[in-house]
A and B are shown apart, each in its own frame.
With several copies, the nearest count.
Chain A
C-alpha cells in the first residue's frame, strides 16, 4: 500500500497526471471535499514526484555503469593487448553483460540482497520473485525495487570483467565463462551480501557486526577482482615471451577512449550509489571527479620524473586508479580529501605496476591487480580515515545522534574495521579464486595451447580478426 502510489498511477502513460489532476483540481474546485482528502492527494502526488526525480537519476546511472563494461572496459583492455587478441579481450567483457545478467535474474540478486545469514542471502528473491515496481525500503525507498535490482546487476557485470585484465591473451573462452560464473557465485555474491546485504556481516547501515564503509564497492568490487586477478596471473603463468618481449599496447588510442568512458560511467557507479538524485549523490559525484583528476596528475608527474616522459598510458591508468580508490570513499569524504586519496592512489599504483610487478615477476598482463587490488585497498583504508558525517549524516546512534564516521571525525577505530573488511575481501578472493581455478583447470583446462597463443585469440578462439584492412 505504501507503494501503491508507485504501482498504479505511474503505470499508464499520462495516467499519473490525470490522477493528480483529479485529486488536485479537486483540491481546488469541489468545495465539499475535505482538506484531509486534499492533503492525502498531495501527499501521493509528492511521493510520485520524488520518485520520478530519483528514478530518472538511477536509470541513468544503471545505464552508465553498463557503459563502463561495454564499451568502456572492453576498449581500455582491448587497446592494451596485442592486435591479435583485441577481439578476444573485448569479448571477455562483452559476454559478461549477457552471462551475469541471466545468473543475476535466477539467483544472484537474491543471494546478495535477500536477508539470510551474515554471509549470504537466502533464495526468497530467486527468479526475481516479488521483485517488482514497489520499492524495497530497506535499500531504496523512493525507487522501484527493479530499478535497484538492475542497477546492482551492472556492478555484478563489471566486477568479474575487471579480472580479465590479469589472464589476458592466454585463457580459453570456455574456461573464462566457467570461471566467471563460479567466481560470481563463490566470491562476488557472498562479499556483496556481507557489505551491502541486509544483515550482512560488514553492513554499516543494516545491522552488520563489523560496520565497514564501502559506498560504491572498494572491497566488494575492486579488492575482490584485483586480488583474484593476482591469483589468476600467478596460477596461469606468464604469456609466451613475457617479459622478454615488450608486448606493448596495440592501440593506446582505444585505451584512452575506454578510460574516458570509464570516468564518465563512474559517475553512475559512485553518485548512483546514493540511490537518488540527492545532495549525497552530488557529494559522491564531486569526490569521484576530484579523485580521478588528482590520480591522473599523480601518476603523470611521478612517471615524468622517473622515466623522463609522461606517457598517455600513464595518465589514463592514473585516472582509473583514482576512480578505484575513491569508490568506497565517494559518499563519505569532502572534496579535498578526495583529491588527496586520488593523488596517493595514482602514485602508489604507479609503483605497483612499474616496480612491484617486475620485482615479483608475475604477469598481471593489464595490471588488474596493480590498479584495482592496490587502489581498492588504499581506498578502503583511507575511507576509514577521511569519512565524515559532514558529508554523510545518515548514520545515527540509538539516541538519534549523528555518529562520528572516520578518523577525521575522531573515530579512529573505523580504520580497524576497514582493515578487517579489506582482509576478509582479500582472503575470500584468494581462497575462492584458487578453488575455482583448480575446478576449471580440471574440467576444461585454463590456457589455450602454444600455437593458439602465438596465432592470437581472435583467430584461434573466435575465427575473426580485429582489423582487416586489405580490401
Chain B
C-alpha cells in the first residue's frame, strides 16, 4: 500500500474530489495547511508597514491506496489539480507498513 500526500490549491479541492470519486476512490483525509515554496505570497500593509505574507493556504489530501491503483490515482490527481501556474503544489508518496479499519480490525488492503 502507498500513501499519497498531495498539497494542492484550496480552490482545486472540489474538482479533485470529484475526479477521485469518478475513479472510485472514496477514502481520503483532508487537512488545511499553509505552504511555502516558489510561489511568492501577497503583500500586506499594516499601519503603513509593508510585509510579505509568504505562507499561503493550501489543502493537503492524504489517501492510502493499493500499489496497483497508485499510478492511476496519481494521474487523476495531477490532472485535476493542475492550473499550470506556480503554486499548484506537490504530491509525495510513501510506503505504508500497515492499515487497519478501526470498526472491524480489517487489516491491509481490505481496510482501505
A–B contact at 8 Å CB threshold (below): yes
Of A185-193, A285-293, A351-359, A390-398, the segment with at least 4 beta carbons within 8 Å of chain B is A351-359
Tell me the minimal C-beta distance from B15 to chain A in angstroms.
10
Other-chain residue from B11, B42, B49 in contact with A243 (beta carbon distance below 8 A): B49
CA distance A298 to B89 in the complex (A): 42
Is B103 on the interface with A (CB-CB < 8 A)? no
Cβ contact within 8 Å between A459 and B48:
no
From residue B49, how far is it (CB to closest CB) to chain A in Å? Answer: 7
Q: Select the residue from B10, B43, B46, B49 with max chain A CB neighbours within 10 A.
A: B46
A126 at the interface (CB under 8 A from B): no
| Max chain A Cβ within 10 angstroms of own Cβ: one of B14, B32, B43, B48 | B48
| B59 nearest in chain A by CB position | A470
A464 to B47, CA, bound (A): 11
Within 8 A of A (CB), among B29-88: 32, 42-51
A316 to B64, CA, bound (A): 44
In chain A, residues 60-106, which have Cβ atoms closer than 8 Å to a Cβ of chain B? none
**Set of chain A residues within 8 Å of B45, measured between Cβ atoms:** 307-309, 311, 463
A141, CB-defined interface residue at 8 Å: no
Nearest CB to that of A357 among chain B residues? B47
Please pick, from B44, B48, B50, the residue contacting A464 in the complex, using a CB distance under 8 A: B44
In the bound assembly, the distance between CA atoms of A191 and B90 in angstroms comes to 57
Closest-CB distance, A377 to chain B (whole angstroms): 20
Q: Which residues of A contact B46 (CB under 8 A)?
A: 246, 248-249, 313
- Indicate if the CB atoms of A248 and B44 lie closer than 8 Å: yes
Contact of B49 among A246, A309, A350 (CB under 8 A): A246
Q: How far is the CA of A454 from the CA of B50 in the complex (A)?
A: 23
Please state if A354 and B47 are interface contacts (CB–CB under 8 Å). yes
User: Measured between alpha carbons, how far is A309 from B43 in the docked complex, in Å?
Assistant: 11
Contact across chains for A355 and B43 when beta carbons are under 8 A apart: no
CA distance A308 to B14 in the complex (A): 27
- Chain B residues lying within 8 Å of A245, measured Cβ to Cβ, are 14
Looking at the assembled complex, report how far the CB atom of B36 sits from the nearest CB atom of chain A, in whole angstroms. Answer: 13
Instruction: Please name the residue on chain A nearest to B46 by beta carbon.
Output: A248
Binding site for A on B (CB under 8 A): 10-11, 14, 32, 42-51
Ordered by A's residue number, 6 sampled pairs between the chains whose C-beta atoms are within 8 Å are A243-B49, A246-B49, A354-B49, A459-B44, A463-B44, A463-B45
